[in-house]
Homo-oligomer: A and B are copies of this chain.
Amino acid sequence: MDASVTPLRHGGLSLVQTTDFFYPLVDDPYMMGKIACANVLSDLFAMGVTDCDNMLMLLGVSTKMTEKERDVVIPLMMRGFKDAALEANTSVTGGQTVMNPWCTIGGVATTVCQPNEFIVVQCCKKGCDFPGPIVRWLGDVLVLTKPLGTQVAVNAHQWLDQPERWNRIKLVVSEEDVRKAYQRAMDSMARLNKTAARLMHKYNAHGATDITGFGLLGHAQNLAKNQKNEVSFVIHNLPIIAKMAAVAKACGNMFHLLQGLSAETSGGLLICLPREQAAAYCKDIEKQEGYQAWIIGIVEKGNRTARIIDKPRVIEVPAKEKDGELW
């Protein structure tokens, strides 16, 4: 389960909460704040929760920054975090700030909700609080709401200043390609999974998780492992930020992107949807947000595992460059 769920003393309500903090990975402090906030909220969204009641911010100010750096960088990062919270229709009411060798940013997202406000995968673990009826997943398909490849894009962008690394990938991408992929990664990471979560209810999603540090396959395996249904997930398609599949191959497969194991930051939701509703779900997300979502796999009878087929289809995102547009 992505967030912690605690039954409350009050009339059937549950406390759903999650926390996350990590280290800056993009140069733009404002965008970094937005990404950190979107990343924290993503665990709530993965459970179909759309309303966050409160956020706290966790901040580590680097002891290595000059006073001036501190005064410029930290307020920008905080503003990004708060703006993303506002976008999610919630607000930051407190938190904790400390001095630390490394800069850190993160937060806590909390909501109190009725049972019908969140979608929990039927758990097969002993002592689980959700032993409800088993939902039949057979015939479901898997939808992914953001492209993969954020880690590859962020690293490739750093390599622009490291000739030795750059030389390894410059045959397959231009500087312009990498800068654009980096912009796309930032935009994608800062984007909230809120609409994706809301539409899970409309199209009867059976369960979901969000893609972060363990990569697509890692999180798919977690989702499969922890539920009652005797199913497995088979992934056929890999939507990847344009050119990043080529970069991943050119640098010796160090990210394991095509194996679904490249870490993502603030990635999309991976959602189990009834087959007949999935296309409508994807269409609706595109209509409301202007971002694509993809059907990437199917749910089969199996032993609670997930795998990617031998030669998955790589979907370049976007499929074609449009002048002056990111996606």
Contact = CB atoms under 8 A, between A and B. Distances in A.
**Majority secondary structure, A binding face:** strand
Given A100-B102, A101-B101, A17 B56 contact: yes
Contact of A93 (B6, B10, B101, B112): B6
A19 B94 contact: yes
23 contacts: A3-B94, A4-B56, A4-B93, A4-B94, A6-B54, A8-B53, A9-B51, A9-B53, A9-B112, A10-B114, A15-B112, A17-B54, A18-B94, A19-B58, A19-B95, A21-B58, A21-B98, A56-B108, A58-B58, A98-B104, A100-B101, A100-B104, A108-B108
A2 to B, nearest CB: 9
Contacts of A187: none
Give the contact-size bracket for chain A.
35 or more
Nearest to A91: B6
Which 4 pairs show the lowest CB-CB distances between chains A and B? A4-B93, A4-B94, A101-B101, A6-B54
Interface string A88-125: 00000111101011101010101010100000000000
A96 B21 contact: yes
Interface in A210-243: none
